[in-house]
Structure 1
Amino acid sequence: MTRGQHANAALTPRHRLKVARLVVEDGWPISEVAARFQVSWPTVKRWVDRYLAGEPMHDRSSRPRTSPNKTPKAVTKRCVSLRMRLREGPVQIAARLGIAPSTVHRILTTACLNRLSDVDRATGEPIRRYEHPHPGSLVHVDVKKLGNIPDGGGWRYVGRLQGERNRSATPDKPKSKWRNPKLGYAFVHTVIDDHSRVAYTEVHDDETAITAVAVLHRAVEWFAQRGVTIERVISDNGSAYRSHLWRDTCEALTITPKYTRPYRPQTNGKVERFHRTMADGWAYARCYTSETERRDALEAWLHQYNHHRPHTACGNQPPFSRLINVSGQYN
């Protein structure tokens, strides 16, 4: 089939030219030509008019000359940039740009970025969703380990050479026997509600049982101020959560501790997914000039996540929309 010709065309471009010449140059009646080639009278007339006008015999594009409602190029570029940088979905990007999620999905599909596996990560695992019936029925806890940022910026934004210089020049570094001095790690402790996806997060310098228990105490109080009573808590099998201190603390708070199956992080998938969102939206979202600057930015980002960021699991509403009659819910 000739390029540009639709599948059901009765005449190829070569035969269209022959039809037109029979009428124009040889003087055949249009009705006889139509009967010979078994096409309609208007079809022959169309190609004759094209021939007289000096136009080609190929099919014309159905694309309109102007598209007043076409998405501006600046919005398209911004959409692709947000997808690559923040790895957010169409609902979240649409909320940032003030356009429809379907428009964002169309832009991402055209750019071959509609799947997160095309952007960065590919799991290949089927998604099996579950959700507890009310807030507090189950909360997930976990720790995210992040490398501290040296003064002047880390290697992700300033390059490895400058990043090593900044790391060497940063004061109060932990002592290391290695040639390159280490800056240590930031341990992000997270408690996230299974039903509402409301998250409570703190950053500490360790992941010991004492720290984990202290975070749990403050998280229980924080959720209680918002009308949520924690009934169960699920964690991985880390030493902090398998300790007697964690067990005794849960018993004192009348919370039932639960654990994921070994080597099955999908069981704790909600907090794992939150940490990925947090890494893209806060931890590595921009160039921080120090670890203190990054930690200071966490509270604002967490407020944005809980109160304003649309969440697909919450019907494209922020997580706090699932907590009823909470003071400051819509701030």
Structure 2
Amino acid sequence: MPHRNARLTVFGRRLLVERVCSGRPVAHVAAEMGISRATAHKWIRRWRAEGEAGLHDRSSRPHTTPHRTAASVETRVCDLRQSRKLGPARIGPILGLPASTVHRILTRHRLNRLAWLDRPTGTLIRRYERERPGELIHVDVKKLGRIPDGGGHKALGRQAGRATRNNMGFDYVHSAVDDHT
């Protein structure tokens, strides 16, 4: 999703391509649209190579991560966390890794919170898990006192606020949260 002040959305890129395909120079179209020539050429090149799909936004996530921590090291980090209950600052020196890397590995494997582990066994605790949505619903009722016109006791004082508050009553807000995990 482009930011709200983006020069080119998908619609703007289509417009760019249409104007260039009608025979106008790329530099002129780029100047009209307030973008650089390089950006205009980039979108024209993508459109020629991929068609309509080339005008859509792409993920900025890299295809590969060549320097990612090896799976065997990640397994060792998880084992130390579950067996010894050590934190990133203690696991890092044991394995020769920075604490930030250890924390990232623990977060990836959902072991970053000691409270989520069973203390004696070190296994991940799942408090409950429901099969289908709607199987477990939390209902909460909140009671809200109505405030009269002119303010309540904070504005008028306890005695004055009491006189204007007769028969004001309460409003109730009901909320239901489906707890399918």
Normalised by the length of structure 2, the TM-score is 0.53
Partner of 1:40: 36
Distance change >3 Å, CA 58–CA 77, structure 1 → 2: farther
Whichever residue aligns with residue 48 of structure 1, its letter is: I
1:18 equivalent among 1, 15, 18? 15
Which residue type is aligned with residue 46 of structure 2?
R
Amino acid of the residue matched to residue 38 of structure 2? P
- In structure 2, the CA distance between the partners of 1:8 and 1:74, relative to structure 1 (3 Å rule), is farther
Aligned to 1:277: none
Aligned length in residues = 118
**What is the DSSP-based 3-state SS (H/G/I as helix, E as strand, rest coil) of the residue aligned with 1:54?**
helix
Report what 2:88 is aligned to.
90
Residue ranges of structure 1 left out of the alignment (5+ in a row): 122-155, 157-331
What letter matches 2:60 in structure 1?
S
Give secondary structure in 2 for the equivalent of 1:113.
coil
**What's the CA shift for 1:119?**
3.0
* Corresponding residue of 1:118: 116
Partner in structure 1 of residue 79 of structure 2: 81
Asked whether the 8 Å contact 1:17–1:47 carries over to 2, the reply is: no
Take 1:8 and 1:73, find their aligned partners in 2: how far apart are those partners? 42
Q: Give the Cα separation in 2 of the matches to 1:10 and 1:111.
A: 39
**Shift in alpha-carbon separation, 1:120–1:8, aligned structure 2, 3 A:** farther
2:25 is aligned with 1:29: yes
Q: Counterpart amino acid of 1:51?
A: W
CA–CA distance in 2 between the matches of 1:51 and 1:39?
Answer: 17
Q: CA RMSD in A?
A: 2.6
**In 1: Cα distance, 2:18 partner to 2:82 partner:** 55
Structure 2 partner of 1:102:
100
**Aligned to 2:50, which of 42, 49, 54?**
54
Measured after TM superposition, the shift of residue 84 of structure 1 is: 2.8
CA distance in 2: counterparts of 1:72 and 1:7, whole angstroms: 40
Paired with 2:3 and 2:76, the residues of 1 have a C-alpha distance of 36
* Distance in structure 2 (CA, Å) of the matches to 1:107 and 1:87: 15
- The percent identity for this pair of structures is 42
What SS is found at the alignment partner of 1:70? coil
How big is each residue's C-alpha offset from its partner over 1:258-310, in whole Å with a ceiling of 9 and x where there is no partner? xxxxxxxxxxxxxxxxxxxxxxxxxxxxxxxxxxxxxxxxxxxxxxxxxxxxx
Listed as ranges, the gaps of 5+ residues in structure 2 are 122-181
The alpha-carbon distance between structure 1 residues 31 and 91, as it changes in their structure 2 partners (threshold 3 A), is same
* Paired letter, 1:46: K
Q: What's the TM-score once normalised by structure 1's chain length? A: 0.31
Deviation of the 1:6 alpha carbon: 5.1
- 2:6 maps to 9
